[in-house]
Chains A and B, each alone.
Chain A
Amino acid sequence: MSKAETIIELRGIKKVYQMGGHALEALSGVSLEIGRGEFVSVMGPSGSGKSTLMNIIGCLDTPTSGEYYLEGKNVAGLTFDQLSSIRNQKLGFVFQNFNLLTYATAWENVEVPLLFNGKNARRRRQRITELLEAVGLLDWKEHRPSELSGGEQQRIALARALANDPPILLADEPTGNLDSKSGEDIMGLLGGLWKEGRTIVMVTHDDRIAAHSERTIRLFDGQVA
């Protein structure tokens, strides 16, 4: 896989948080490349900048300096709305705490990215059915997040991340809030997605979870170790 086309490329990415008077450098010059179809895990001690890095890769946050090329295109110059459509179509993001809309049903949560992508009702219905079937929760489509277990909520979040069939799936400790059985279910799904050819970047603390990936990037104090 080493000769594969680079899909994500970071060069000297820095992220500085201004906290009152002093500045905190969460990332101090991270450079890395991830090839299309790779399954990479990111590990490192707490506070080492893993989430900060993932948020930048996921276009949820912008770096203080450095360059980020996504499919060869520099992300720095893009407008908010251009980034929105990247988040909508190129990247799927799974959070540790799920981040589902609490007032909406499982079905409706999965529908949101499809709505923002302008899909018509028939195509939405078709796609949501497909996705909920894939994560094994079609029967739970009318349930709200509060009526679902953590593992189920994360599967809904995963279905939502995959709504517009993005080439890249990003997951920040997707199993962090789950029991080991649910965690294994999620990992099984991620493994399957990788085999389908998707690029996966996942943060984890757990070596057994990291073992599912091809390669591990280790962060320490905001730098690649």
Chain B
Amino acid sequence: MNLTLPRFFLREFRKRRKKTALITFALFWGTLCVLILLAFGRGMSAQSRVAFSGLGENLIMISGGQSSIVHGGLAKGRLIRVYPNDIEDLKKRIPEIAVIAPESYNGWPVSARGKELNRTVHGTTPEFAGLRTQIPQPGGRFINADDEAEGRKVAFIGWKVAADFFGGEEAVGKEIIVNRVPFTVIGVLQKKIQNSMYQGPDADQVYLPFSAFSQIDSQPYLDRIHVQPRELGLSKLVEERIRTVLGRKYRFDPADRYALGIWNTIDNAREQEKIFKRIEIFLGVIGALTLFIGAVGVTNLMYAVVRERTQEIGIKMAVGARRRTIVLQFILETLFIFAKGTFWGFITAFNIVGLVRLIPLSEEGFGIGAYLLRPVFSMDIFFIFLGIVGTLVFLAGIFPATRASRLNPIEALRYE
């Protein structure tokens, strides 16, 4: 292959680098802005999902309520409660339930090492761990079946509870006093991101086996029942079955929305999903606008620079350049400018995203930082960007060059 002409083109390109510097910079800047913007958008969206899943997915929480419809000869306004034996009934009657766990809680003084704090103390069964993402730190565990069966005096505590009593020391194996009864710590909750919570952050909670909790608590009914359906798609069905089963048992109308307090995370998930979608659409629109403005600017610059060179094209044709030589030169130059600008834009954006991700997040809950400091770099966006801007820039560079190459040499020479 004869490289004489490509070398000549390269030399000419270098000589005129200053003239095209603005275009290169515009491409660089546009690439950088769009990629950064979209990376942050993606990051926010992804972090929202992570944060939401901190509560546990596909979960139905049932608590007592008050009937609001006259039913079976009973007046409305009756208090409806859920009881420990409902767990067995629901499990038996509704095969679509995968996991079910009871929960009761009470505010009690908790003390250790002579320090006393008021904390919410929960009684629950081992199944709760999977339902509510209770992951123990290494060296510890959640309540297990034996703890429950034997009514052992053991406790699983939030990481802040552990820190409050034992500082940096290992909490597992230590004793805490709950409502004047000593319990042994068996595990500490691992830190997690959570933005959807009830009863304060998980970090501050204390969990006891349900059997042991019942011995120190006098409340006969449950505060909540947690249910996980076998599949996400069964969520609404399971919810309705629960109303039917408990309605028959406690004699309320299954259609009575107030008889039970039911929180189905699928409803939240749907809401949340809508919000994520809106955020993404919003950022997508901003990205598209930025891209559009950038592309128009670059296209314009490119067009102007090439038009300015019509006379140069005339000179070259006058001394013997062929049409395809002229067009080839502009194709290569456009390619060069495009590759250079977008390459450096990409590298810079990539590094900025990487550096931002290195900023540590504060460990307290789930602040704004978690949304802003975890941008996600996505190649698909980069390629879409390359495709759109590339096409526009090419048209802008090649169209005027092709047009100029169609002129007579003398017309091109006279071009002002």
With A103-B15, A115-B5, A115-B8 as given contacts, are A84 and B321 in contact (CB-CB < 8 Å)? yes
Q: Give the number of A-B contacts (CB < 8 Å).
A: 71
Q: In the complex, which residues 100-118 of chain A have their Cβ closer than 8 Å to any Cβ of chain B?
A: 100-101, 103-104, 108, 112-113, 115-118
Q: Is A223 interfacial (CB 8 A cutoff)?
A: no
Task: Write the chain A residue with the least CB distance to B16.
Answer: A103
Residue B408 contacts which of A61, A104, A118, A160 (CB distance < 8 angstroms)? Answer: A61
Q: Is A60 interfacial (CB 8 A cutoff)?
A: yes
Q: Is A120 interfacial (CB 8 A cutoff)?
A: yes
Q: Is B167 interfacial (CB 8 A cutoff)?
A: no
Task: Write the chain A residue with the least CB distance to B315.
Answer: A99
Q: Is A177 interfacial (CB 8 A cutoff)?
A: no
CB of A93 within 8 A of CB of B4, answer: no
Q: How many Å lie between the Cα of A120 and that of B409 in the bound state? A: 26
With A116-B325, A118-B2 as given contacts, are A84 and B312 in contact (CB-CB < 8 Å)? no
Q: How many Å lie between the Cα of A55 and that of B319 in the bound state? A: 13
With A60-B409, A87-B409, A103-B16 as given contacts, are A112 and B319 in contact (CB-CB < 8 Å)? yes
Q: How many Å lie between the Cα of A87 and that of B317 in the bound state? A: 8
Nearest Cβ distance between residue B293 and chain A, in whole angstroms? 31
Q: Is B21 interfacial (CB 8 A cutoff)?
A: no
CB of A84 within 8 A of CB of B320, answer: yes
Nearest Cβ distance between residue B56 and chain A, in whole angstroms? 68
Q: Is A85 interfacial (CB 8 A cutoff)?
A: yes
Q: How many Å lie between the Cα of A99 and that of B322 in the bound state? A: 18
CB of A104 within 8 A of CB of B322, answer: no
Nearest Cβ distance between residue B326 and chain A, in whole angstroms? 10
Q: Give the number of residues in A that approach B within 8 Å (Cβ atoms).
A: 31
With A99-B315, A104-B15, A120-B4 as given contacts, are A60 and B320 in contact (CB-CB < 8 Å)? no
Residue A87 contacts which of B4, B320, B325 (CB distance < 8 angstroms)? Answer: B320
Q: Which residues of B contact A99 (CB under 8 A)?
A: 311, 314-315, 318, 413
Q: Is B316 interfacial (CB 8 A cutoff)?
A: yes
Q: How many Å lie between the Cα of A95 and that of B410 in the bound state? A: 11
CB of A89 within 8 A of CB of B15, answer: no
Q: A87-B317, A115-B4 are in contact. List 15 more A-B contacts (CB 8 A).
A: A60-B408, A60-B413, A61-B409, A61-B411, A81-B322, A81-B324, A84-B321, A84-B323, A99-B311, A99-B314, A101-B312, A108-B11, A112-B319, A116-B316, A116-B322
**Residues of B at under 8 Å CB distance from A?**
2, 4-5, 8, 11-12, 15-16, 311-312, 314-325, 408-411, 413
Q: Which 9 A-B pairs have the closest CB atoms?
A: A88-B320, A116-B320, A60-B410, A113-B319, A60-B409, A61-B410, A81-B322, A55-B410, A84-B322
